[in-house]
A and B are shown apart, each in its own frame.
Chain A
Amino acid sequence: MSRRLRGGPGSLLILIPCFNEQGAIGHVVRDVHRVLPGVPVMVIDDCSADSTIDVAEQAGASVLPLPHHLGLGGAVQAGYRLAFELGFQYVIRVDGDGQHSAEDIPRVFEVLRRSGVQMVIGSRYVRKQSRNYTNTLRGFGIVVFRTLLRPILGRWVYDPTSGFVGVNREALQVFSRSFPLEYPEIEALVVLQRKQFRFEEVPCEVRPRLAGVSTITAARSIYYILHVLLGVFVNVLKFEGGRRRRETSLYQLRTTLEEEAPEPEEPEQAFQPEPEPERGALS
């Protein structure tokens, strides 16, 4: 079932990327509808082998089925592209495994709407008493990324790997054109920084997944860390390259303007103050 979706002023779309989440997706969609009645929910199915599509549709979501498996970044970007084309102003992405509570979505939306920042992250670590269901290795990775991102972003980001993210239309436009394909959350922050966009973090609860197993195993966590480190490094290089190009083009523009500028005309005599006669001077 693909409902008629059309964005308008202040419109919000909930985006849920999914891969083999038949056990949890129905509950996640119904939970969103309960908290935000009337807000459209779009499930991006990354070519699941199970009945994720049917379960999501039965729960009342629109589904964008991808023709083959693209990975998390490719699936999220497909959703961003569609949301941008349909004219939505705000998109909030939640995980399809039920780890994020729909009760937190209105708070993220409120900050996104009122603060004027381009991205709002639902963070597990802003509020200290939040329970954490992350494994030790991934927890270590988060600390590494947090420390790494501090000088790049110019501020702390407590939960850089959160999959609970709201973006406004400006960020939507950027992400619909360019979005990291694997493990996109951290690199997306660097992409935003390149555009000089701002973000906020909002505390949220994270629950254990409702069904299935995470695709990020202990062995994959190491690959995850290396992949993200390289991705961030490359993005910083792009940022520096872009800045140098901008500075060079600004310098060239200034030089050209200075060369082409006409000689400054002598100001009209009428605007010149009358020279005061020197004291004691003889007239």
Chain B
Amino acid sequence: MDRVMTVLMILSISIIVMVLHSVRREHIRVEYSVSWLTSAVILLILSLNRDAVVWLAQLLGVASPAIAILMTVFFVFLFVGFRFSLRVSALKDANIALAQRVAILEFHIKSAHEQQKTANG
């Protein structure tokens, strides 16, 4: 149990450090770091509070607090992954619309240039 808590604490701190480092270097935008930091802080609190883990195990109906921790980690990251799937889908839609608009505008510009060339002889 202690080892699991220690591993969870190291994992949480690593995530927090990695995310903060990435935000500082502008590899992740601040709004996308919120999900990760919130998840990591929840896991850190769990790793530091044994009573909370035992309470969580009772709540989830599992015998071992270690399994409760694993389940929590799994669901937290499932939620974060789903949230990013939504974001990626929206970005893909926006990207496609943008690419189509760029292509159409380029087409109009090219047509206008050719018309101008023809008009100028």
Contacts and interface: CB of A to CB of B under 8 A. Distances in A.
A68 interface: yes
Interface of A: 1-5, 62, 64-68, 70, 74, 77-78, 81-82, 85, 181
Contacts of B64: none
B99 A68 contact: yes
A47 B45 CA distance: 50
Contacts of B96: 70, 74, 77, 181
B78 to A, nearest CB: 20
B72 to A, nearest CB: 30
Given A2-B114, A4-B111, A5-B111, A65 B100 contact: no
Interface string B91-112: 0000010011011101100110
B74 to A, nearest CB: 24
Contacts of B115: 4
A164 B102 CA distance: 26
A78 B102 CA distance: 10
Contacts of A62: 107
A77 B99 CA distance: 11
Nearest to B101: A81
Contact of B102 (A3, A67, A181): A67
Given A1-B114, A77-B96, 10 more contacts: A2-B110, A4-B114, A4-B115, A65-B103, A66-B100, A67-B103, A74-B96, A74-B100, A78-B100, A81-B104
Contacts of A181: 96
Interface string B40-71: 00000000000000000000000000000000
A81 B106 CA distance: 14
Contacts, number: 42
When A and B form their complex, which 7 residue pairs have the shortest distance between CB atoms, in order from nearest? A78-B100, A2-B110, A2-B111, A74-B96, A66-B103, A82-B104, A67-B99
Contacts of A65: 103, 106
Contacts of B111: 2-5
B100 A2 contact: no
B107 to A, nearest CB: 5
A2 B107 contact: yes
16 contacts: A1-B114, A3-B111, A3-B114, A4-B111, A64-B103, A64-B104, A64-B107, A66-B99, A67-B103, A68-B99, A74-B96, A74-B99, A74-B100, A77-B96, A78-B100, A85-B104
Most buried by A among B96, B99, B100, B110: B100
Nearest to A82: B104
Contacts of B104: 64, 78, 81-82, 85
A78 B99 CA distance: 9
A11 B100 CA distance: 23
Interface string B9-53: 000000000000000000000000000000000000000000000
A119 B111 CA distance: 29
A81 B110 contact: no
B100 to A, nearest CB: 4
A66 B104 CA distance: 9
A70 B111 CA distance: 23
A281 to B, nearest CB: 80
Interface string B67-88: 0000000000000000000000
A70 B114 contact: no
Contacts of A77: 96, 100
A194 B103 CA distance: 29
Contacts of B106: 65
Contact of A70 (B99, B107, B110): B99
A178 to B, nearest CB: 11
A32 B99 CA distance: 28
